[in-house]
Amino acid sequence: MKMESDEIISVLREEISGFDNRTQRSETGTILDVGDGIATVYGLNNAVYGELVEFETGVCGMVMNLERDSVGCVLLGWEDGLGEGSTVRRTGRATDVPVGDAMLGRVVNALGAPIDGRGPIETTETRPIEHEASGVVTREPVKVPLQTGILAIDAMVPIGRGQRELIIGDRQTGKTAIAVDAIINQKGQNVVCIYVAIGQKASSVARVRNTLEKFGAMDYSVIIAATASDPAPLQYIAPYAGAAVGEYFMGQGKDVLIVYDDLSKHAVAYRTLSLLLKRSPGREAYPGDVFYLHSRLLERACRLTKKYGGGSMTALPIVETQAGDVSAYIPTNVISITDGQIYLETSLFFSGQRPAVNVGLSVSRVGGDAQTKAVKKTAGTLRIDLARFRELEVFNQFASDLDPATQRLLDHGKRMMELLRQPLYHPLPVSRQAVILFVATGGLVDDVPLEQVREFVQGFADEMDAVHSDVMTDIQTTGTISDAAAQTIRTELESYKHRVLSPAQEKGR
């Protein structure tokens, strides 16, 4: 009996030593009304804007309206099983997402939960989706290039690390293709890529994922998807969740490329929420803070100084226009926030010019400072030459007879437009871009027949890779074309012409 009493006493002592006498307080409320993904809750008097709340069914919500007697919560899930009288509990924390290296290679929803069927993601850290953008003191000027591998963009509207470059155009003009090409081109560049799909079809997201997998880009990429079948609140928080994941890697000193595809659908999702929350509508029924919706998101993209880690986050937001109207409400808002735009024109796309970049309306406000010297030097007159060509092309429709100088300018422009055509998912390294631009802008292939010029120049670039790999490697590593390299390119080009062009074409020269 004594042994048993001693055991009981030791157990009691252990229980008493581990007893927590601190008061635990949990604030709960009651649903007054629920519908269309919005719940009006009574009793959460101390709730704060953006706080995560938990409903009795396990579904989470986010506080978005603070009124005198109630709060308006958006449901980050489905409202099945909820009704008047259901209980809601405060969590005391801001809406957040899991972050970490384990996210790489995965497809997740707007809450960071995996949706690719590959099991749970083991992460130990979370970040709030809403976060104040880095201050002026912590930022560094954009000086390091971020190569997309697309000749028309790297030559005329270059992008620097930390920049925000808008991709804008009508539907089905190749906006997503440019973003995917840019992600594929980051292979081996030590850049983490994040693709945020907002309101896209699930099949479109799957296609992007398969493309990235095919080219080995998923190893350094994260896809955050809030598809068209997801509730509007998930579509609303998706880009902020993507920015939070990007900021985690940026805080580690890494370079990040984030694509928001697209912010037009994001604005529509926010308009839906605002109207359901009974906020006052403004222009085109959007709420008055729709500008702040995107400015606080895109301002989070920057390049940090070495003192603050030296990482960067480059944003490529995508906006869809209707019938080419860049002066619509959301397009003008985002254009005014970003550091330039790549405008894709429908008429160019259907004429076979792909990527269909409109040179006149596309601009990069800071990327020129970060452009590779070799490309900057060889593409110096490209934009002006193409603008002049577009002007003469319009004039040529009404002119029956042209003087030789005008005809030469037209022929030169046609060849440059032909060389700017690039197939999908074939990004070009800097050395190859520099060689193509060198022979194109210098007029060195103006004597090659127009229908053969693209194949001719690609073949010449292949020969330079094979025969003069030392020259190509030097251009790639230094980012410049030396005088010796320029002379080698000229000499090799003349030799290549004699070998490839037929005697009749040689005579025509």
Residues with catalytic roles: 365
- Amino acid, res. 437: L
- Residue carrying structure tokens 């959460």: 44
- Measured distance between the N- and C-terminal CA atoms of the chain, rounded to whole angstroms: 115
Peptide bond into 262 cis (omega under 30): yes
Whether the CB-CB separation of 47 and 71 falls below 8 Å is answered with: yes
Amino acid at 74: V
Q: Give the whole-angstrom CA distance, residue 227 versus residue 215.
A: 23
Structure tokens at 81: 């099983």
List, in order, residues 6 or more apart from 25 with CB less than 8 Å away: none
Q: What values do phi and psi take at 303, rounded to 5?
A: -120, 125
Encoding tokens for residue 66?
């603070």
- Closest CA relative to residue 73, chosen from 43, 46, 51: 51
∠ Cα 247 253 256 (to 5°) = 50
Helix axes 290-298 and 232-251, enclosed angle (nearest 10): 30
Distance from C-alpha of 121 to C-alpha of 108, rounded to nearest angstrom = 9
Closest CA to 428 of 452, 410, 454, 453: 454
Give the contacts of 208 (CB within 8 A, at least 6 positions apart).
176, 180, 195, 197, 223
Q: Are 240 and 64 in contact (CB under 8 A)?
A: no
